[in-house]
């Protein structure tokens, strides 16, 4: 029977309390103390999750519920925060009694988080403050969590025991007799102290608070919804795991991940990232959840209670965008169907009003105005179709229907055909097309008329200003005007010509007989250079090339009588073209 037992300091771990008892009890050996407390000399100390708590409470005559004692003196809360309530109760039972089988596997603690897992840790500043205040220092629960390397109160780096805890599990001694040394990675820890403090605070939160335990599905759902918000998961739940992995590595940096020994860099080791998202019934070390939560930009205080929802198009309701519906632009649509556009890597919302009108939009919505954007009309719906039908039956034109429905003619035609009004479409298209052609023609005529008037004035002015010029000279003075009038206003143009320059047979500018003789000579010379064998294969265009008069023969061959005859005789193959 023991006569006293020290009261626990704030955040003190059970091993530290028993250690202080041992020192004060004046027991000589570890076994004496253990026998005092557990009524058995074969019990080894366990740092994080010690069992046999009921018997201990009985020995020390402490009148507190065993659950509370376990919660306050061990890492129980830390290791069970992400487990469901049944498992948590199971662990409580095991720790109350002597059943320690698989306890570390059951809470994910068997997954070693760092090579310093298994060493005692101490904040030198906390320790010296405690010496000043209580005359003795103690070991904090928080500092014994494997992933905690810093004291968040003092923003300093912890020290570790030189010997592993296994050395002390059969041995008690005062803390000042233990050797505490710096971590080899002291620089890495210092460089990353901010994030390490944040993680230590997160660990502290679940260590200090009774969180609402949830099933594993709750967490995978929370994580997935958050990944959807971050565009790293499709609305159907397909996660780009490699992208998540590389972002995770980038977020924490290789130094921290190496320090934590999270095995993220090899394929096998990174499976835990898949497990954490994919609702596998796989117990993870809580630091993995904590790190993932922080990576996702979530708050550990919210993760257990606040449901994360994926609402890329807001909470609704959504407006009907059918112009003929009474609910046009009114927010009446309650449900939304969300799919994923893999090309755009974005969610797509599909909205359907009771009037049948259905439209979609690529999200996520960024502002209130986005609510009224129609990306694509999927169905015009029965109400719109009825309206279209009534307009068709009343015999309105496509233009009129277009203006009433504010819909493109293409869509109107498509739906008219769908509703069986093929004749209407055919007729209307024809009528409309004729109207369009006529309109175009009238416009062209008008332009022509205006141009003729303009050119007539220029032409007359030219004649007036140059009374001594003959027609060739006049023509060469403004070839554009003369050509245009020749093509479009020939009769008027002829009447402006002085009588003496009008040639025979209405041929005013060219003496075709003379020209025919010249061209014939040119052709004869050109043909001479071609072998007799090849002559049959040459064409009229070919001859044009030879005499360097492209297009000339084809346009004027009827006027070049002798040339035509010559070519016909010489080149049999050219006949078709002549």
Minimum distance of Zn ion from residue 330's CB (angstroms):
8
Residue of 31, 59, 84, 125 interacting with Zn ion (CB under 5 A): 125
User: Quick one: 134 or 282, whose CB is closer to Zn ion?
Assistant: 134
Contact between 154 and Zn ion per CB under 5 A = yes
Cβ of residue 389: shortest distance to Zn ion, in angstroms?
17
Indicate which single residue of 107, 353, 481, 520 sits in contact with Zn ion (rule: CB under 5 A): 353
Q: Which of 196, 176, 48, 208 is nearest to 117 (CA)?
A: 48
Where does residue 63 rank: exposed (0-12), middle (13-18), buried (19+ CB within 10 A)? exposed
Question: Site for Zn ion (CB under 5 A): which residue of 34, 126, 401, 493?
Answer: 126
Tell me which of 27, 220, 279, 327 binds Zn ion, using CB under 5 A.
327
Cα→Cα distances 328→368, 411, 415, Å: 16, 19, 20
Q: Enter the DSSP assignment of 8.
A: P
At its nearest, how many Å lie between Zn ion and the CB of residue 289?
25
Least separation in angstroms between residue 128's CB and Zn ion is 9
Instruction: Please report whether residue 325 would count as binding Zn ion according to CB under 5 A.
Output: yes
In 517-542, which positions are buried (b, 16+ CB within 10 angstroms) versus exposed (e)?
Answer: eebbeebeebbeebeeeeeeebebeb
For residue 440, state whether it binds Zn ion (rule: CB under 5 A). no
What's the half-sphere exposure (Cβ side, CA atoms, 13 Å) at 147? 29
Closer residue to Zn ion (CB): 140 or 475: 140
Walk across the sheet containing 119-122 and list its strands.
119-122, 159-164, 180-181
- CB 121, min distance to Zn ion, A: 11
Q: Residue 313: which of 259, 365, 378 has the closest Cα?
A: 365
Q: Which stretch binds Zn ion (CB under 5 A): 117-125, 283-291, 296-304, 413-421?
A: 117-125
Instruction: Identify whether the C-beta of residue 571 lies closer than 8 Å to the C-beta of residue 531.
Output: no
Q: Is position 201 an interface residue for Zn ion (rule: CB under 5 A)?
A: no
Q: CA-to-CA distance for 578 and 576, rounded, in angstroms?
A: 6
Query: Which among 152-160, 306-314, 391-399, 520-528 is the span making contact with Zn ion, rule CB under 5 A?
Result: 152-160
Q: For the CB of residue 203, give the shortest distance to Zn ion in the complex, in Å.
A: 14
Please identify, among the stretches 23-31, 120-128, 231-239, 420-428, the one whose residues bind Zn ion according to the rule CB under 5 A.
Answer: 120-128
Coil vs helix vs strand at 341: strand
Cα dihedral: 274, 278, 280, 285 (round 10): 50
User: How many whole angstroms separate alpha carbon 420 and alpha carbon 426?
Assistant: 12
Stretch that binds Zn ion, among 57-65, 203-211, 289-297, 348-356 (CB under 5 A): 348-356
Closest distance of CB 384 from Zn ion, Å = 9
When the beta carbons of 126 and 145 are compared against Zn ion, the nearer one is 126
Closest separation between CB of residue 151 and Zn ion, Å? 3
Total number of residues that touch Zn ion (CB under 5 A): 13
**How long a stretch of residues is the chain?**
578
Q: Which is nearer to Zn ion, 123 or 391 (CB)?
A: 123
Among 35, 87, 153, 451, binds Zn ion (CB under 5 A): 153
Between 151 and 206, name the residue whose CB sits nearer to Zn ion: 151
For Zn ion, the closer of residues 125 and 488 by Cβ is 125
Q: Candidates 88-96, 306-314, 326-334, 515-523 — which segment interacts with Zn ion by CB under 5 A? A: 326-334
Say what the alpha-carbon torsion angle 114, 115, 120, 123 is, to the nearest 10 degrees: -60
User: Which one of residues 47, 151, 259, 380 is an interface residue with Zn ion (CB under 5 A)?
Assistant: 151
CA–CA separation, 219 vs 300, rounded Å? Answer: 12
Residue 74 region by backbone torsions, left for phi larger than 0, else alpha for psi between -120 and 50, else beta: beta
Contact between 224 and 233 under an 8 Å Cβ cutoff? The reply is yes
How would you classify the pairing of strands 159-164 and 119-122? antiparallel
Beta carbon of residue 322, minimum distance to Zn ion (angstroms, whole number): 4
Choose the stretch contacting Zn ion; rule: CB under 5 A; options: 118-126, 284-292, 392-400, 570-578.
Answer: 118-126
The candidate with the shortest Cα–Cα distance to 96, out of 49, 40, 35, 51, is 51
Q: Which is nearer to Zn ion, 152 or 563 (CB)?
A: 152
DSSP state of 508: -
For Zn ion, which is the closer residue by CB, 125 or 539?
125
Cα–Cα distance between 83 and 215 in angstroms, integer?
7
20 is written with which tokens?
């202080």
Phi first, then psi: give them for residue 350, nearest 5 degrees: -120, 125
Helix (H) or strand (E) holding 389: helix 381-393
Q: How many CB atoms lie within 10 A of CB 201?
A: 16
Q: Kindly report the number of other CB atoms within 10 A of residue 203's CB atom.
A: 25
Strand order in the sheet with 358-362: 336-341, 346-352, 358-362, 376-379
Among 355, 416, 543, 571, binds Zn ion (CB under 5 A): 355
Q: Considering only the stretches 34-42, 352-360, 364-372, 484-492, report the one whose residues sit in contact with Zn ion under the rule CB under 5 A.
A: 352-360
Q: Which stretch binds Zn ion (CB under 5 A): 57-65, 325-333, 488-496, 566-574?
A: 325-333
158 binds Zn ion (CB under 5 A): no
**Please, which residue, 14 or 353, has the CB nearer to Zn ion?**
353
Compare residues 128 and 166 and give the one whose CB is closer to Zn ion. Answer: 128
Nearest to 126 by CA among 138, 144, 142: 138
CB nearer Zn ion, residue 74 or residue 322? 322
- By CB under 5 A, residue 123 contacts Zn ion: yes
Separation CA 294–CA 292 (nearest Å): 5
Asked if 341 touches Zn ion (CB under 5 A), the answer is no
- Interaction residues for Zn ion, span 294-323 (CB under 5 A): 320, 322
Contact window for Zn ion (CB under 5 A) among 147-155, 161-169, 437-445, 520-528: 147-155
**Contact region with Zn ion (CB under 5 A), list: 10-18, 20-28, 119-127, 498-506:** 119-127
| Residues at the site binding Zn ion, with contacts judged by CB under 5 A | 123, 125-126, 151, 153-154, 320, 322, 325, 327, 353, 355, 357
């Amino acid at each position: 029977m023991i006569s006293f037992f020290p009261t626990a300091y704030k955040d003190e771990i059970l091993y530290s309390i028993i250690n202080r008892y041992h020192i004060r009890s004046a027991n000589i050996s570890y076994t004496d103390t253990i026998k005092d407390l557990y009524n058995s000399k074969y019990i080894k100390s366990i740092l994080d999750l010690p069992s046999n708590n009921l018997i201990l409470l009985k020995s020390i005559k402490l009148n507190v519920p065993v659950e509370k004692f376990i919660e306050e003196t061990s890492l129980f809360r830390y290791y069970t925060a992400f487990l469901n309530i049944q498992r948590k109760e199971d662990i409580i039972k095991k720790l109350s009694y002597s059943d320690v089988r698989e306890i570390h596997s059951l809470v994910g603690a068997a997954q070693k988080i760092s090579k310093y897992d298994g060493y005692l840790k101490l904040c030198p500043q906390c320790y010296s403050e405690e010496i000043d205040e209580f005359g003795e220092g103690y070991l904090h629960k928080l500092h014994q969590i494997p992933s905690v390397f810093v004291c968040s109160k003092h923003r300093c780096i912890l020290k570790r025991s030189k010997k592993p805890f296994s050395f002390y599990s059969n041995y008690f001694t005062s803390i000042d007799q233990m050797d505490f040394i710096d971590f080899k990675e002291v620089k890495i820890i210092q460089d990353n102290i901010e994030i390490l403090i944040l993680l230590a605070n997160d660990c502290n939160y679940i260590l200090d608070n009774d969180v609402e335990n949830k099933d594993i599905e709750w967490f995978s759902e929370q994580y997935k919804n958050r990944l959807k918000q971050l565009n790293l998961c499709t609305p159907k739940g397909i996660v780009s795991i490699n992208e998540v992995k590389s972002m995770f590595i980038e977020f924490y940096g290789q130094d921290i991940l190496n320090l934590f020994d999270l095995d993220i860099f090899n394929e096998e080791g990174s499976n835990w990232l898949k497990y954490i998202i994919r609702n596998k019934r796989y117990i993870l070390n809580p630091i993995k959840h904590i790190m993932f939560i922080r990576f996702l930009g979530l708050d550990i205080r919210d993760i257990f209670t606040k449901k994360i929802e994926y609402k890329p198009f807001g909470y609704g309701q959504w407006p009907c965008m059918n112009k003929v519906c009474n609910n046009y632009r009114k927010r009446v649509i309650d449900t939304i169907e969300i799919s994923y556009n893999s090309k755009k890597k974005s969610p797509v919302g599909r909205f359907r009003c009771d009037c049948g009108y259905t439209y979609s939009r690529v999200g996520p919505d960024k502002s209130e105005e986005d609510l009224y954007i129609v990306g694509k009309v999927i169905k015009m719906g029965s109400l719109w179709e009825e309206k279209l039908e009534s307009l068709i039956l009343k015999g309105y034109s496509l233009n009129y229907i277009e203006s009433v429905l504010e819909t493109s003619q293409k869509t109107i035609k498509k739906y008219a055909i769908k509703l069986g009004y093929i004749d209407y479409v055919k007729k209307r298209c024809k009528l409309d097309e004729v109207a369009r052609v006529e309109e175009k023609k009238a416009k062209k005529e008008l332009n022509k008329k205006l141009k003729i008037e303009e050119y007539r004035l220029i032409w007359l002015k030219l004649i007036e200003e140059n009374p001594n010029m003959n027609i060739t000279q006049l023509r060469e003075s403004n070839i554009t005007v003369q050509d245009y009038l020749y093509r479009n206003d020939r009769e008027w143009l002829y009447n402006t010509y002085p009588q003496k320059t009008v040639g025979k047979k209405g041929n005013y500018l060219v003496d075709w007989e003379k020209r025919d003789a010249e061209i014939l000579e040119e052709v004869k010379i050109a043909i001479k250079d071609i072998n007799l064998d090849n002559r049959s294969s040459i064409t009229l265009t070919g001859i044009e090339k030879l005499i360097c008069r492209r297009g000339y023969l084809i346009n004027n061959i009827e006027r070049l009588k002798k040339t035509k005859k010559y070519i016909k005789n010489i080149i049999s193959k050219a006949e078709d073209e002549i």
